[in-house]
Amino acid sequence: MGTEADGSTGTDLDRLASVNLNLLVPLLALLEERSVTRAAQRVGLSQPAMSHALTRMRRLLGDDLLVPHRAGSTLTPRALELLGPLRSALRQTARVVNFPSFDPATDQRLVTVAMTTSTAFVVGPRLTRLVARRAPHATLRLRTFTVPTEATFTEQGVDVALISEGHFSPYPRERLYNDRCVVAAAPDTPPEASALDLLTTQPHVVVDTERRVFPYALLEEKGIPYRVGQLSSDFLLVPFLVARAGGVALLRHRVALAMQALTELRIEEFPFPLPGLGIDMVWNPRLGDRHFVEWLRALLFEAAAPA
């Protein structure tokens, strides 16, 4: 019989014996994904089987756990309380079981990488090819965000988030690649015009947000005149509009290069020194599979390497 010294009692173990512990993994997937469909895909169950597991856990815990809404599902207060302890318990269980090393040739897991749309534009295609080649039975899921939040790292089934060095993270980070700001212009702009000439004579195409990107604050600080000619709510539409309809835009260099491969685009260096615009990797702090992390880390470096 357990004692207070080892943190368990006979009554606790008796209760556990009456619970199907196989439900705990699907339960964690449901709480993190907040979707029966995505949770089923993540753990390799059919959707009906996952729905059945959710029904059983609701009955066992006496709580709805997941509440459907128009825009998706939200967690009940009880479900939010369960997230941390459940993750910790399953992580400890994995250590006790001592699973063999991650084998990309046979693993069927769902690999989830979160990033902005612009970063996905840079590394997404190469990462997709690499995962398909090196882990043919795995599924790569790219999730995009605008500004990372705590949930980006811990509550959406994300293995690693790729964030700009300017964004805060409560967890350790490692540089994936460095980037810089460049001036992108239409290919028919005067060839003798310098980057500064382009900025002052061509209409600017900018992202339609309340918060203007940093280089514009520097232009205003230096008294450089410019005119906004077009606003777009889609960041990746900006370089395409510039290339096909004219004007000028301030872009990350790697994004501009990727777009240049799809359409003609003139790229010039930004005329003033700017702080770096590096992209960092931030791993889910609850991801305990060291072999998988090392494999995916190496893959990300390969995907982000200059072509």
Least confident of 67-71, 98-102, 152-156, 189-193: 98-102
Q: Say which residue the tokens 């995916």 belong to.
A: 296
Same domain, 79 and 121: no
Residue at 274 is within a domain: no
Phi, psi of 228, rounded to the nearest 5 degrees: -85, 120
Residue 6 has pLDDT above 80, yes or no: no
Q: Which amino acid is at 213?
A: V
Q: Are strands 181-185 and 204-207 parallel, antiparallel or unpaired?
A: unpaired
Residue at 208 is within a domain: yes
Greater confidence (98 vs 94) lies with: 94
Q: Say which residue the tokens 């019989």 belong to.
A: 1
Q: Cα(174)–Cα(155) distance, rounded to whole angstroms?
A: 21
Same domain, 190 and 208: yes
Same domain, 132 and 185: no
Segment 4-17 shows an average pLDDT of: 54
Greater confidence (120 vs 289) lies with: 120
Enclosing domain of residue 234 = 181-269
Residue 94 has pLDDT above 80, yes or no: no
With beta carbons less than 8 A apart as the criterion, state whether 153 and 284 touch.
Answer: yes
In sequence order, which residues have a C-beta less than 8 Å from that of residue 163 and are 6 or more positions away? 115, 116, 148, 169, 173, 279, 280, 282
Residue at 36 is within a domain: yes
Q: Where are the alpha helices (DSSP H) in 98-167?
A: 117-134, 150-154
Examine the fold and report which residue of 97, 130, 156 is the final residue of a domain before the chain moves on: 97
Same domain, 48 and 194: no
Structure confidence by residue, pLDDT tens digits, 203-240:
999 987 776 677 898 999 999 999 999 999 888 889 99
Same domain, 16 and 140: no
The DSSP symbol for 223 reads T
Residue at 103 is within a domain: no
> What pLDDT, on a 0 to 100 scale, did the predictor assign at position 16?
56
Same domain, 85 and 208: no
Same domain, 170 and 198: no
Same domain, 151 and 217: no
Examine the fold and report which residue of 97, 122, 155 is the final residue of a domain before the chain moves on: 97
Q: Over pLDDT 90: what percentage of the chain?
A: 45
> What pLDDT, on a 0 to 100 scale, did the predictor assign at position 5?
44
Helix (H, G, I), strand (E, B) or coil at 279: strand
Element spanning 24, H or E: helix 24-33
Segment 130-143 shows an average pLDDT of: 95
Segment 122-149 shows an average pLDDT of: 92
Given its phi and psi angles, is residue 34 left (phi above 0), alpha (psi -120 to 50 degrees) or beta? left
The string over 43-53, giving b where at least 16 C-beta atoms fall within 10 Å of a residue's C-beta and e elsewhere, is: bebeeeebbeb
Q: Cα(119)–Cα(239) distance, rounded to whole angstroms?
A: 14
Q: Cα(238)–Cα(234) distance, rounded to whole angstroms?
A: 7
What are the structure tokens assigned to 67, written together? 């509440």
Segment 283-297 shows an average pLDDT of: 87
Binned at pLDDT 50, 70 and 90, residue 1 comes out as: very low
User: Where residue 79 sits, what CATH number does that domain have?
Assistant: 1.10.10.10
Q: How many domains does the chain have?
A: 3
Residue at 173 is within a domain: yes
pTM: 0.67
Q: How many CB atoms lie within 10 A of CB 175?
A: 12
User: Where residue 256 sits, what CATH number does that domain have?
Assistant: 3.40.190.10
Residue 11 has pLDDT above 80, yes or no: no
What are the structure tokens assigned to 36, written together? 């029966």
Same domain, 62 and 135: no
Same domain, 174 and 285: yes
Segment 192-196 shows an average pLDDT of: 96
Residue at 102 is within a domain: no
